[in-house]
Structure 1
Amino acid sequence: MQQQLTKEGVKYLLAPFCWILFMMIVFFIAAGRLDVPRAWLAFGIHLVGAALGALLMYRFAPELANQRASARQGTKGWDKAILMIYFLLLLLAIPLTAGLDVGRYHWSDLQSMGLGVVCYFLFFIIFYWAMLINKFFEGTSRIQTDRGHRVICSGPYAYVRHPGYVAMIFASVSDALIIGSLYALIPSCLAVGVTIVRTGLEDKMLRSELDGYAEYAATVKYRLFPGIW
């Protein structure tokens, strides 16, 4: 029987809307103006994605929504630190830099809106595909002994071992590209680097602590980038 959504799960599904609002406030204060159409497009896409994602989770994965609402017992200390850095870059540094760049000082004007939209859609498709396939797709890195943690090798996991982090890489660069800020790509690339570090650490943890993962890694050889790493 499928678990029902709890109050914690509802908070998790609503959290992205709060994050988007925070990003908008940071961006438009930094920009000093509201007439930045590409920024409205970026935040509008985020809002639509958050709504569709919440509906998908509510319909198909309410138990996972409940689990992702907070860091559970056994979460690695290094992962908490990495997540803090990642979210500071994503929610604060990127919109702040983009706002100062395209809104206030006009340092750059990247013609990359279409590429940014593609990156966001790739993020959305890969992220929710992985999450709906993998009931152990929690928000933090830990061995979920309390939930019968096992290796998932279907869906996107048949191609790379960490598709969720592939999605996060696309998310990291999408806003800077949609808004058209060259300088916002600096914190975006830092967020990509943080994601790659997290991938390596989590992969090492899974190899040493999760039964069957070493055998899975011998079959699916690449962590993030087929043919590369």
Structure 2
Amino acid sequence: MNTSLRIAVSSVLGIAAFALLLFVPAGTLNYWRGWAFLAVFSVVSLVPTLYLGRKYPEAVERRTHAGPQAESRPVQKVVMAGTFAAFAAILVVPALDYRFGWSHVPAWLSIVGDVLVATGLGLAMWVVVQNNYASANVTVEDGQPLVSTGLYGVVRHPMYFGNVILMIGIALALGSYWALLLVVVGTLLMIVRIFDEEKMLSEQLGGYRQYMDKVRYRLVPLVW
């Protein structure tokens, strides 16, 4: 199976899983925020990924090795297990919120959330263009260069920054203030991941210590 077809099949299965996590807890298909989120997520993730799969197939291949089983470091295995659980919860909680009426998020704010979803996904895709070695698991490959320009000149982990924007966007797009608590959980897990990842990178990737001195912010520009 070629890369593009594998990406398409994987994306369709992923969207189907998202739909189950949304509409089963919601107890109905009449959940416009869920449909709008799925549409935005599908288009903004699938189209660029297919393009990247043709132009940078090795980079996309690295992104497919994800999950606790793909990690070699014990801390990262735990973090990724927690991250997967938090991401599933950030879909399920808004669906339950819709079903039981816990939050009252205005429609315009959900539209803003969809914009944030597109922005977060777009940042993640752009990171892959700027750094073809950006993988889904924490590793350093032979001959891997240090990327310190572009988005990496602003923040040391731009893909994780995109993920923070994405999580906030999902909570708002799906209409749940309660799901914002899961953004805190997901961000804390990313912080743990970053500390462990930077420890490894400073030991194994040439020039990374100097890069840390040059680029001050780890996750969010002007904040941390």
TM-score, length-scaled by structure 2:
0.89
Equivalent position amino acid for 1:220 in 2: V
Within 5 Å, which residues of 2 pair with 1:1-229?
7=2, 10-12=5-7, 14-70=9-65, 75-90=72-87, 92-102=88-98, 104-111=99-106, 112-145=109-142, 148-229=143-224
Structure 1 position 7, deviation (Å) = 4.7
Structure 1 position 191, deviation (Å) = 1.3
SS in 1 for 2:220: coil
The 8 Å contact of residues 4 and 50 in structure 2, kept in 1 or not, is answered as no
Structure 1 position 208, deviation (Å) = 2.3
Farther off after superposition, 160-169 or 192-201: 192-201
Q: CA RMSD in A?
A: 2.1
Structure 1 position 212, deviation (Å) = 0.5
Structure 1 position 132, deviation (Å) = 0.7
The 8 Å contact of residues 9 and 69 in structure 1, kept in 2 or not, is answered as no
Farther off after superposition, 194-203 or 34-43: 194-203
Deviations 1:69-108, CA, capped at 9 Å, x for gaps: 2269873232232122112211x21221111111x21111
**Cα 1:13–1:222 shift into 2, 3 Å:** farther
What residue in structure 2 maps to residue 3 of structure 1? Answer: none
**Cα 1:87–1:9 shift into 2, 3 Å:** farther
SS in 1 for 2:140: coil
Deviations 1:49-86, CA, capped at 9 Å, x for gaps: 22212222123211112233226987323223212211
Aligned length: 220
2-side partners of 1:222 and 1:182: how far apart? 28
**Cα 1:139–1:10 shift into 2, 3 Å:** farther
The 8 Å contact of residues 129 and 155 in structure 1, kept in 2 or not, is answered as no
Structure 1 position 10, deviation (Å) = 4.8
Structure 1 position 172, deviation (Å) = 1.6
2-side partners of 1:14 and 1:223: how far apart? 34
**Cα 1:79–1:16 shift into 2, 3 Å:** farther
Gaps of 5+ in 2: none
Gaps of 5+ in 1: 1-5
**Cα 1:17–1:171 shift into 2, 3 Å:** farther
Structure 1 position 140, deviation (Å) = 0.3
Deviations 1:91-135, CA, capped at 9 Å, x for gaps: x21221111111x21111112213312311221221111111101
The 8 Å contact of residues 71 and 77 in structure 2, kept in 1 or not, is answered as no
2-side partners of 1:190 and 1:17: how far apart? 27
SS in 2 for 1:131: helix
2-side partners of 1:15 and 1:68: how far apart? 12
The 8 Å contact of residues 121 and 163 in structure 2, kept in 1 or not, is answered as no
SS in 2 for 1:68: helix
